């Protein structure tokens, strides 16, 4: 079964059994508790909605299928999903993380779990060989974004996963930027895939959610236990909305990328643009790796302008179709300044260490008519 067929049908099967309603859209099960006839036997496996809910079950079945996973878990946000994974570890454990990560992930690592006793090293690597020198006897997890946020670095997921397995270390890939349509980390040997479902899976900036996908049953049992014990689950209404979003994921991603390639081509010819970060452009240092492990390159790019923060402010505030907003994956085009928005929680020294400059801008290209987007960028560049 191919991608869009999975997205539309798996988890969305109508109940055609006797007594079933035949809904072709999964109902929103709002009940917080479920009655039973026998004291010791929950009805259809449901007793309390934090533990299991029919709408969330449908979504999790759907998301697992999209990532070629055996198990999926839906949470109230991407950071809630990551928190559940991190709570599998104990004080004194060590995590190796790619250096360029989303500011919220950095804040969670450094300002929350560091106080609890987890040690995190933010380092620069691409391959499994690169990472070997950072692994310690008590390293338990390698945390990856690929592409990274916002510098769009591509990590060789198969080689990192191979090294991690030799050392009995788990690998977690934040696959939000690539989506399950463009990249499947579990197929490359990694252990855990994470998404901020707020982004492309939802696609319309009307759901805040997160999800985890895995193949290993023991790992799934542990994450499922923590999902229930901690309780940061996705509401039935948001599960319903995400199921709607996933049905059009392939269509949206194709249009997103089609527009992005043209936007990148335009920006690459502009003298006021100092540098472009996009894995689908031949100038990207991991362009060949991206072509090897991804089916496509996605719709997020970053660029640096010649000038300073005032140049950036003028450019951003001159745009009319690109909304200045903290998010990606929306059908509308979005733009932001990482140093003062998404990565403001990262100290300036840390930002500069990994190459995140004050003139860096991140774009999430939407599905509008690309001629209009290019015209908007052009008139804004004329003003700086």
CA dihedral of 350, 354, 355, 356, whole degrees rounded to 10: -50
Active site residue 130: no
Active site residue 102: yes
Active site residue 199: yes
* Residue from 46, 71, 102, 181 carrying the catalytic annotation: 102
Contact between 340 and 370 under an 8 Å Cβ cutoff? The reply is: no
* Residue from 47, 50, 274, 287 carrying the catalytic annotation: 50
CA distance 134 to 124: 10
Contact between 231 and 52 under an 8 Å Cβ cutoff? The reply is: no
* Residue from 52, 56, 140, 199 carrying the catalytic annotation: 199
Contact between 131 and 96 under an 8 Å Cβ cutoff? The reply is: yes
* Residue from 57, 99, 174, 376 carrying the catalytic annotation: 174
Cα-to-chain-centroid distance, residue 14? 29
Burial 207-229 (b: 16+ CB within 10 A, else e): bbbbbbbbbbeebbebbbebbee
Contact between 366 and 125 under an 8 Å Cβ cutoff? The reply is: no
139-145 and 94-98 strand pairing: parallel
Active site residue 71: no
Structure tokens at 203: 């696609």
Look at the block and give the residue holding tokens 């309390």.
Answer: 48
Active site residues: 50, 102, 174, 199
């Amino acid at each position: 079964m191919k991608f869009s067929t999975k997205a539309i049908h798996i988890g969305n099967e109508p109940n055609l059994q006797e007594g079933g309603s035949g809904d072709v859209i999964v109902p929103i099960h709002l009940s917080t508790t479920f009655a039973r006839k026998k004291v010791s036997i929950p009805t259809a496996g449901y007793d309390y909605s934090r533990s299991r809910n029919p709408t969330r079950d449908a979504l999790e079945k759907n998301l697992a299928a999209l990532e070629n996973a055996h198990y999926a878990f839906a949470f109230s946000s991407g950071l809630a999903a990551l928190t559940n994974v991190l709570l599998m570890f104990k004080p004194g454990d060590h995590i190796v993380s790619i250096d360029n990560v989303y500011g919220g992930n950095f804040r969670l690592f450094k300002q929350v779990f560091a106080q609890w006793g987890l040690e995190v090293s933010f380092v620069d690597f691409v391959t499994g060989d690169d990472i070997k020198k950072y692994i310690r006897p008590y390293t338990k997890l390698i945390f990856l974004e690929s592409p990274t946020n916002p510098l769009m670095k591509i990590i060789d997921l198969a080689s990192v996963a191979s090294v991690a397995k030799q050392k009995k270390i788990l690998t977690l890939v934040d696959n939000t930027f690539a989506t399950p349509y463009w990249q499947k980390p579990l197929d490359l040997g990694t252990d855990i895939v994470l998404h901020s479902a707020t982004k492309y899976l939802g696609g319309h900036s009307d759901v805040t959610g997160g999800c985890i996908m895995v193949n290993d049953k023991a790992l799934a049992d542990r994450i499922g236990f923590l999902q229930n014990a901690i309780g940061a689950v996705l509401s039935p209404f948001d599960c319903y909305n995400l199921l709607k979003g996933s049905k059009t994921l392939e269509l949206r991603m194709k249009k997103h990328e089609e527009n992005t390639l043209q936007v990148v081509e335009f920006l690459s010819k502009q003298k006021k643009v100092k540098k472009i970060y996009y894995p689908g452009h031949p100038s990207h240092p991991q362009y060949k790796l991206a072509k090897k492990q991804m089916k496509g390159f996605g719709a997020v790019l970053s660029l640096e302008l010649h000038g300073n923060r005032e140049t950036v402010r003028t450019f951003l505030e001159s745009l009319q179709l690109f909304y200045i907003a903290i998010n990606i994956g929306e059908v509308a085009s979005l733009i932001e300044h990482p140093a003062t928005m998404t990565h403001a929680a990262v100290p300036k020294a840390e930002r500069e260490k990994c190459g995140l400059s004050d003139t860096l801008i991140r774009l999430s290209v939407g599905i509008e008519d690309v001629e209009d987007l290019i015209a908007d960028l052009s008139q804004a560049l004329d003003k700086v």
